[in-house]
Amino acid sequence: MHRIVTVLGQVDVSPDSSGMPGAELIQKLLNWSQMIALWGSLAALLIGAAMYGLARESGGYGGATKGKSLALGGVVGAILAGVAPTAVNLLFDAAQS
């Protein structure tokens, strides 16, 4: 068992996309997906805020609750879209230590 751990301990990986076929396309797709997530979050936030305001003023508290949930979902979506690359890099770095 000790020998297996020693062999596995000698493996070294450092991610590098240079020379990888399609690396630029993959990066572009990831950038686009983050932009789409941010657009969706903005749309959810704006539509939710409008729903909340209109429903609350007209006495439709069920609609106000849905609007509030949609707006909050937009906020959470924007946070996750923004923090995702940092979280992945942080977790990868922590796992290597």
Give the pLDDT band (50/70/90) at residue 9: low
Break the chain into its structural domains and give their ranges.
31-97
* pLDDT tens track for 18-52: 888 999 999 999 999 999 999 999 999 999 999 99
Give the pLDDT band (50/70/90) at residue 92: confident
| Number of residues in the chain | 97
Q: What is the mean pLDDT of residues 51-72?
A: 92
Position 97 pLDDT exceeds 80: no
CA–CA distance from 9 to each of 3, 15, 16, 40 (Å)? 10, 17, 20, 43
